[in-house]
Chains A and B, each alone.
With several copies, the nearest count.
Chain A
Amino acid sequence: MTHLTRHPIDVGDLLATVQSAERGGTCVFLGTVRNDADVTSIDYAAYEAMTFEEIERILAEAHERWPESRVMLQHRLGLIPVGEASIAIAAAAPHRDAAFAACRYVIEEVKKRVPIWKKELHVDGSATWVDPSGKPVAGGLRDR
Chain B
Amino acid sequence: MAKVSVRFFARYAELAGCDWSAVNVSTPATVGDVIARVREVFPGTQAMPPRPLAALNRRQVKHDALVNDGDEVALLPPLSGG
- Any A–B CB pair closer than 8 Å: yes
Is chain A's interface secondary structure helix, strand, loop, or mixed overall?
Answer: mixed
With a CB–CB cut-off of 8 A, which chain B residues contact A31? 82
Q: Does A130 contact B (CB under 8 A)?
A: yes
Tell me which of A5-13, A97-105, A134-142 binds B. A134-142
In the complex the two chains form, is A113's CB within 8 Å of B11's CB? no
- The verdict on A50 contacting B81 (CB below 8 Å), with A45-B10, A119-B10 known, is no
Pick the contact of A53: B13, B58, B77, B79 (CB < 8 A). Answer: B58
Chain B interface extent, by class: 10 to 19
Q: Does B25 contact A (CB under 8 A)?
A: no
With a CB–CB cut-off of 8 A, which chain A residues contact B74? 47, 50, 115
Q: Give chain B interface residues in 1-23, CB to chain A under 8 Å.
A: 7, 9-11, 13-14
Q: Does B28 contact A (CB under 8 A)?
A: no
Q: Report Cα–Cα, A49/B55, bound state, in Å.
A: 12
Pick the contact of B82: A49, A54, A86 (CB < 8 A). Answer: A86
In the complex the two chains form, is B9's CB within 8 Å of A139's CB? no
9 closest A-B pairs by CB? A116-B81, A117-B10, A50-B58, A132-B78, A141-B14, A130-B80, A111-B82, A114-B81, A142-B14
